[in-house]
């Protein structure tokens, strides 16, 4: 199993990156928060999880081992595959996910696209005893994390090659379209990319 990769960032796309290791370019699927920390041409280390299927070998990358461990734990629940597990981590940081499962906070879990009320209840039922110790947080902490989407999208756009000024304009334009509930970061990032695509 490939537990981690370290090398030069050869390419970055909206849903992944190519890390060059010993002359070999490894395609790694990453959430926007992880991609935001990568820079083209710079060296990076990603914790990775290799998902083996009959017709594919897919490498998923994470900013740290904590995210990777939660990604693998989530997949032990019924009906959760790698894409859904990564979607969970794209919407919430690991500590928020652990706290939601430990406290049966299904409302937080259902904010993830693809997880309904029954799916959230199943996650709680199957993973609550295996989630490990959870720090007690406050609603204020959660509020800060929810408001961090602008910076994640901005960093993601800069990592994809746009200037900081272009990224700021796109984030501002996306923010103006929001009404009430904030969509997950991947949705916001794609929206920003579409807006920038029109201006190129």
Domains of the chain: 4-62 (2.40.50.140), 65-128 (1.10.150.20), 148-198 (1.10.8.10)
Per-residue pLDDT band for 138 (boundaries 50, 70, 90) equals very low
The pLDDT value given to residue 187: 84
The pLDDT value given to residue 111: 93
Give alpha helix (H) positions in the chain. Answer: 32-35, 65-74, 82-91, 94-102, 106-109, 117-127, 139-146, 149-159, 164-177, 185-199
Q: What is the pLDDT of residues 56-112, one digit of tens each?
A: 899 999 999 999 999 999 999 999 999 999 999 999 999 999 999 988 999 999 999
3-class secondary-structure state, position 64: coil
Distance of CA 139 to the CA centre of its chain: 21
pTM here is 0.67
Task: Give the C-alpha separation, 122 to 56, whole Å.
Answer: 28
3-class secondary-structure state, position 155: helix
Task: Give the C-alpha separation, 169 to 146, whole Å.
Answer: 20
H helix or E strand, kind and range, residue 167:
helix 164-177
> Average of pLDDT values for 179-197?
83
The pLDDT value given to residue 140: 40
Task: Give the C-alpha separation, 85 to 112, whole Å.
Answer: 10
């Amino acid at each position: 199993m490939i537990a981690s990769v370290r090398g030069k960032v050869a390419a970055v796309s909206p849903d992944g990156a190519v890390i060059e290791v010993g002359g070999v370019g490894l395609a790694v699927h990453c959430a926007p928060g992880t991609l935001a920390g990568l820079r083209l041409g710079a060296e990076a280390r990603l914790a990775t999880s290799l998902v083996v299927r009959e017709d594919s070998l897919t490498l998923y990358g994470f900013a740290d081992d904590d995210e990777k461990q939660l990604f693998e734990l989530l997949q032990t629940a019924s009906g959760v595959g790698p894409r859904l597990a990564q979607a969970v981590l794209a919407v919430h940081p690991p500590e928020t996910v652990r706290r939601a499962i430990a406290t049966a906070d299904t409302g937080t879990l259902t904010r993830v696209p693809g997880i309904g009320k029954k799916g959230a209840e199943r996650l709680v039922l199957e993973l609550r005893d295996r989630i490990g110790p959870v720090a007690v947080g406050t609603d204020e902490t959660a509020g800060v994390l929810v408001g961090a989407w602008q910076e994640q999208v901005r960093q993601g756009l800069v990592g994809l090659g746009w200037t900081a000024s272009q990224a700021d304009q796109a984030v501002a334009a996306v923010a103006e379209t929001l009404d009430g509930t904030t969509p997950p970061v991947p949705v916001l990032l794609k929206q920003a990319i579409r807006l920038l695509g029109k201006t190129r």
